Amino acid sequence: MYSEDDVPRPVNYYGLTKLLAEEITRALGGSIVRVAWIYGTGPGRPNFGKTVVEKLMRSEVVTAITDQWSSPTLNTIIGEAFTKLLDVKFNGVIHVVGPRLSRYEFARAIAKYFGFSEELIKPIRLIDVNYRARRPKDSSLNNRKAIELLGIPLNDINYALSIFKRELETEKAIVKP
C-alpha cells in the first residue's frame, strides 16, 4: 500500500524506467498518475482480467498467484479519472488504482461476479511462476487521495467489474448469463 509520498524502490529494469520517466515528468513540471495491473476491453496485448473471463467462459482452469499483491485497475476507470483530473487541474502525484488484491483474489472476484465456477480458479505461488524479471511481492498502491479528490469508488471491485462486464457484453466478447 505505497503512498504517493513513499520513495520508489524498483526491483527490475522495467520499474527503473518508470521511475526515470517520473523524474523527467517532475523536472518538466508535469503530474504523475500511477496505475497498476490494468485490465479491460479494447486493443492491445491480453490482460489478466480479460484472460480470466475468456478461460472461465470455456470452463478452463485459471491458475492465479496467491502471494503477490497489487491494485487491479479497469482501463476505463483510469480514463474517467483522467477526465476529472483535467477538470480540477490536478498537479502532483496520484494513485488511480483499484483495491489491493492478489491475482488469486482478483480471479475469484471475477468468477463470482460473472457467475462462473470459482472452483476453476487454482492457487499457485509466485515461486511457481518462471518470470524472466524479478517481481515485487507487493506493489499495491494506496488510492485514498484519488478517492477523496475524484469521488470514484476505486476500492469497490464489484463497481469496476460491473463496468467491465457491460463493456465485454457490448463488444460481444461474452455471452450474457
Top CATH class of 13-170 equals alpha beta
Query: How do residues 158-172 score in pLDDT, each as one tens digit?
Result: 999 999 999 999 987
C-alpha cell of residue 115: 457467475
Please check whether residue 96 is in contact with residue 143, taking contact to mean a CB–CB distance below 8 angstroms: yes
Query: How do residues 98-128 score in pLDDT, each as one tens digit?
Result: 999 999 999 999 999 999 999 999 999 998 8
Whole-angstrom CA distances from 123 to 43, 126, 129 are 28, 10, 12
pTM of the entire structure? 0.91
